Amino acid sequence: MNYLPLFFDLKGKHALVVGGGDIALRKLRLLKRAGVFVTIVAHHVSDEVRAMATDQEDQVIVGEYHSALVDDKVLVVAATNDNDLHERIHFDAVERNVPVNVVDTPKLCTFIFPAIVDRSPIVIGISSGSESPVLARMLRARLETLIPSGYSRLGQLVGRFRNEVKARFATVNERRRFWESVLEGQIAEKVFSGRDEEAEALLRESIQAADPEHQIGEVYLVGAGPGDPELLTFKALRLMQQADVVFYDRLVSPEVLEMCRRDADLIYVGKKRDDHAVPQEGINALLVEHAKLGKRVVRLKGGDPFIFGRGGEELEELKAHGIPFQVVPGITAASACSTYAGIPLTHRNFAQSVKFVTGQLKNRKEALNFDELVHPNQTVVFYMGLHTLPDLVEGLTSHGKPLQTPVAIVSRGTAPDQKVLTGTLETIVAQQQEAQLPAPALVIVGEVVSLQDKLAWFGDAVIEENQAHALNMAANRLQK
């Protein structure tokens, strides 16, 4: 460890900043956020730097640096373009045992500024030991997206109740278990959703109950998207990392499952056509059972839970048993698979509306309303329609849809082995009989499919085509 990360309370202390430009400005912003009084010295001080001197004890000195300025300071920052001056400042600070940071000159620094994720009172510092500041900033940017701003309010809420919890729970282990239930349960989720007053009221109730082990759990109905783990939402990932138990279906990819908490119980409840590992009523009962045990339960569904995912049925059962729940939308297959196939679902020249239709209904004798599906300037996407493809084609054409209407089958959309088969209503059944693309697959019907050749961007064939095109372009340039 080249540097020991420490956090100092500098509120009301005095620091010296030598420099009046943009680099000094960045350091001044950090110091002022920490409540430091600053003395700024430089031959030229920009308006932005001057505006940072907002406290009565702040000073702006336009002129020469001299060593006496270091006296009585808790730290010094040198941010000029003068290397000789930087060495003088370093010497003066070290002689007085005052920490010094010389910007972009690690050998003259006795401390460094980390990249900071500020969720005060939660603060995260990231340092590369001056080896790669850009990498530290990249990691900071990633953490910024993974840590909601609500953690700041959550930290403040916890701080207000620390003494009450300490008085209520006798042992360190009891307090630890209680705070875990708060920080990974309903109270935290209420804060993250902006319901701070409800969170505080629930925290008070939980402290008074003094029995967090027996509180009821919660169910998170989470859309897992079409399979590519990079398409998960931040909230989905956060809740998956909190789950004690995860019930997942057939369409959830192994890569997405890998994102769940390592020690969570993973229970498969998937359903294929005419082959249900666990009946829907059984899934509903399992969700209720585990929530009543006080567990945090994730119900992980491929795509979006409210688009042909039977999520509504599961929530009705939870509601009937008084189980709290949340719903996290996922990128539905129609949007993701069409995008990865290079097929825009709407386009002002071809389609001004889009319909999502299931090819598999609860009552399979019930016919689709084909009259609504044959309108021009419309895209129709059939979920779970691969096995009924001949019936769908016959229904569309018998109700007036032209035989030459473009059709695409997108098999295993967004996965590395994605396949796209394009044709027309007249040809697609025969093409699929020959190609035998596997489920899961979507059937897309409409003029927008004609854009697929031009807009396709994902998959090995497209990569090879793009590489060949780039080589041809390079060869043409060389010839010229």
Residues near 196 by beta carbon (within 8 Å), at least 6 away in sequence:
153, 157, 190
480 is catalytic: no
Are the C-beta atoms of 52 and 33 separated by less than 8 Å? no
56-71 pLDDT tens trace? 999 999 999 999 999 9
pLDDT above 90 as % of the chain: 71
CB atoms within 10 A of CB 197: 9
Q: What is the DSSP letter of 108?
A: G
The verdict on domain 14-113 having CATH code 3.40.1400.10 is: no
pLDDT digits (tens, 9 = 90+) for 261-320: 888 999 999 866 555 568 889 999 999 999 988 788 999 999 999 998 889 999 999 999
Model confidence band, residue 121 (pLDDT cutoffs 50, 70, 90): very high
Q: What is the pLDDT of residue 474?
A: 52
> What value does the mean pLDDT of the chain take?
89
CA distances (Å), origin 51, targets 20, 59, 61, 63 = 11, 11, 13, 18
Give 137-183 pLDDT, tens digit per residue. Answer: 999 999 988 888 899 999 999 999 999 999 888 877 678 778 877 88
Element (H, E) at 435: helix 428-435
* Per-residue pLDDT tens over the stretch 179-192: 877 887 889 989 99
pLDDT the model gives residue 36: 97
pLDDT of residue 334 exceeding 90: yes
How confident is the model over 97-118, as pLDDT tens digits?
Answer: 999 999 989 999 999 999 999 9
- Whether residue 307 is annotated as binding a ligand: the answer is yes
Catalytic-residue membership of 271: yes
Q: pLDDT > 70: what percent of the chain?
A: 91
| pLDDT of 49 strictly over 60 | yes
CA angle 118, 121, 124 (to 5 degrees): 40
Q: How confident is the model at residue 468 (pLDDT cuts 50, 70, 90)?
A: very low
Report the alpha-carbon distance of residue 186 to residue 245 in Å, rounded.
Answer: 16
Nearest to 440 by CA among 408, 407, 409, 411: 411
Q: How confident is the model at residue 368 (pLDDT cuts 50, 70, 90)?
A: confident
Residue 302 marked in a binding site: yes
pLDDT surpassing 60 at residue 464: no
| Whether pLDDT at 122 is above 70 | yes
* CA–CA gap between residue 471 and residue 121 (Å, rounded): 54
The pLDDT assigned to 256 comes to 94
Annotate 378-417 with b (16+ C-beta within 10 A) or e (fewer): bbbbbbbbbebbeebbebbbeeebeeebbbbbbbbbbbee
> Is 331 annotated among the ligand-binding residues?
no
- Structurally, at CATH architecture level, domain 339-455 sits in 2-Layer Sandwich (3.30)
| Pair 66, 85: CB distance under 8 Å | no
Which strand ranges, in their side-by-side order, compose the sheet holding 37-42?
59-62, 37-42, 14-18, 75-78, 100-102
- Whether residue 258 contacts residue 234, with contact meaning beta carbons closer than 8 Å, is answered with no
Higher pLDDT, 109 or 360: 109
Report domain extents, the chain.
14-113, 216-331, 339-455
Q: Mean pLDDT across the stretch 465-476?
A: 51
pLDDT at 473 over 70: no
pLDDT number for residue 309: 83
Q: Is 399 annotated as a binding residue?
A: no
3-state secondary structure (DSSP) of residue 409: strand
On the question of pLDDT at 216 being above 60, the answer is yes
Question: Which one of the listed residues 13, 32, 235, 271 is annotated catalytic?
Answer: 271
- Is 217 assigned to a binding site? no
Query: Using an 8 Å Cβ cutoff, are 336 and 253 in contact?
Result: no
For residue 1, what pLDDT is reported? 78
pTM: 0.62
Decide if domain 216-331 falls under CATH 3.40.1010.10. Answer: yes
Instruction: Give 381's pLDDT tier (boundaries 50, 70, 90).
Output: very high
Helix (H) or strand (E) holding 396: helix 389-398
Instruction: For residue range 389-415, list pLDDT tens digits in order.
Output: 999 999 999 999 999 999 999 999 999
Q: What pLDDT score does 178 carry? A: 83
**Chain mean position to CA 295:** 23
Cβ atoms of 323 and 216 within 8 Å: the answer is yes
Single out the catalytic residue among 228, 249, 295, 401: 249
